[in-house]
Amino acid sequence: MKFMKKILSYVLKHKKVFISGLIAILIIGFLGYKKLHKSKDAVENKKTYATVTRGIIDKKIVVAGKVKLTNEQRLRFNVPGRVTKVNFSVGDTVQQGQVIAELDKSELASNIRKEEIGLESSIKKLENIRDKNENLEIEKSENLLDRTKKELKIAKKELKELKIKQPIDVNQSETIYQKKLSEISALEKRQGEVSGDPEEARRIADELEIAKKEAADMLAKKPLDDLQNKLERQRKENNIKEIKKSIEEQEDALKEMKKKTAREEELTDASSMVELQQISLRQSKTELNKYELVAPFTGVLTKIDFKVGDNLVIDEQKFANLKNPDILTVVTSLDQNEVVQAEIGQKAKITFSALPNKVFDGEIVELEESPKEADIGAATYEAIIRLDKQQEKMYSGMTAKVEIAVARKENVLTLPLLAVRDGDQVGEKYVLMKGEEEEEEEGERVVVEVGLSDKVNVEIIRGLQEGDEVLEADFAQLETDFNKSSQTMNEEQMNF
């Protein structure tokens, strides 16, 4: 207690000194806090810059997919009958075109043999009639006349196409000539603009000389092309006249020959009978093929539901299952933004969940044009990618990650996507250049034209050069701007 009184007495006696010291301590503390806070703000607000470099833009579509066997069919007979042969067992490999099983076809084979004998008899009868005919040359003359008429038809078609094609060729030549003149005009204008650059002036002078020579060659060639076109038309027109004259002569000769023909009706009847029997025989042989179960592709039999002696009826659900495990497809779905970028023939990299350390090459072989509606109403389009199994153990239904290469550009100017900002106009893009002075964080605003993007980097087509430094996006500022924008929208809604 006495000690506290002594301190209080000392403070009262020296209160000016004490107050001055307290004020000094507060000032020092405030300055230290301000310096520390400023240092912290400097770290937090430190700007990052990106440099324009040359590189590769590899645009990909990444989607999920599932394995499906390319060739997997359930085969069955489409006619009733008794099974007489089963040539393979489950697990056997069957080559394309081999007969897996057969039905009893003895009755049909007997009927086919009878039809073959009847056809042979009719052909001999027809030959005898022709031998007796005194004017067998009529058939030859008719065939020759038919061929000549076909030649006339072809010649007329060629002339018609030539008359359509030649004006198009002339217009194209004229268009090319006018383009060349425009090119010369542009080069002459450019030549006047670069008079202060001797090297560029020489280069343009060389290009101008070449362009003028090409234009002169085109102009000199035009009369010759016109003459050739005219001669070509005349040649085809003369050819048509000659063919027409030949047809008239052949028709007159044929009329004279037919006047002397005595057994033409009998010959026609015999020919018709042969033709009808040939059609019937072909139909019977086609029906015979239905009694054989043939492998449509090379594969492995995984199931056979019937055996020798079984009597099969129409629509009976008994099959031979054939699969080709060596050729696989991966089926995936693309949304409307992805499907417009995909094309048949594009390459893909596939990784399977069951084989994470293996990457397989694939190729798009089919793109569905009709969409499939999802539960939420978004349209998706099926894409089928073919790949080789490469002796790995794979099964239908296995899941996979698919990377489809839709576009690629090499040795182009690139920037991180975060360094490119949206402008005020629709489609406008710009960057903020690095300040020229050391204390300047950002410089001028430069409008750029962008190209391909892989979602990380973007191609710079116009506006920047290699080595330029630009300001990347400030996430803290973006968040502040977003919050301010959201607050403004909320206030406007409330006022409304």
| Cβ atoms 177, 219 nearer than 8 A | yes
- How confident is the model over 94-130, as pLDDT tens digits? 998 899 999 888 887 888 888 888 888 888 887 777 6
- Taking alpha carbons only, the member of 178, 166, 162, 165 closest to residue 219 is 178
The CATH number of residue 417's host domain is 2.40.420.20
Indicate the SS3 state at residue 101: strand
Show the domain range for 84: 80-103+291-318
Do 255 and 178 sit in the same domain of this protein? yes
Question: Residue 351 and residue 253: Cα distance in Å, rounded?
Answer: 76
Question: Residue 419 and residue 472: Cα distance in Å, rounded?
Answer: 4
Per 3-state DSSP, what percentage of the chain is helix, strand, and coil (rounded to 5)? 50, 30, 25
pLDDT of res. 496: 44
pLDDT of res. 443: 75
- Name the CA dihedral angle for 208, 213, 215, 220, rounded to a multiple of 10 degrees: 170
Question: Residue 463 and residue 447: Cα distance in Å, rounded?
Answer: 6
| Cβ atoms 69, 427 nearer than 8 A | no
Instruction: Tell me the mean pLDDT in the region 411-431.
Output: 90
Do 144 and 254 sit in the same domain of this protein? yes
Do 172 and 251 sit in the same domain of this protein? yes
135 pLDDT above the threshold of 70: no
457 pLDDT above the threshold of 80: yes
Do 179 and 251 sit in the same domain of this protein? yes
Least trusted range by pLDDT, from 29-38, 55-64, 148-157: 29-38
CA atoms within 13 A on the CB side of 473: 14
Do 138 and 239 sit in the same domain of this protein? yes
- How confident is the model over 257-306, as pLDDT tens digits? 776 554 667 778 888 888 888 888 888 877 778 888 998 888 889 889 99
DSSP-derived letter for residue 145 is H
Number of Cβ within 10 Å of residue 50's Cβ equals 21
Indicate the SS3 state at residue 126: helix
Question: Residue 296 and residue 137: Cα distance in Å, rounded?
Answer: 47
Do 327 and 443 sit in the same domain of this protein? no
Do 88 and 146 sit in the same domain of this protein? no
Do 391 and 425 sit in the same domain of this protein? no
Do 375 and 488 sit in the same domain of this protein? no
pLDDT of res. 145: 81
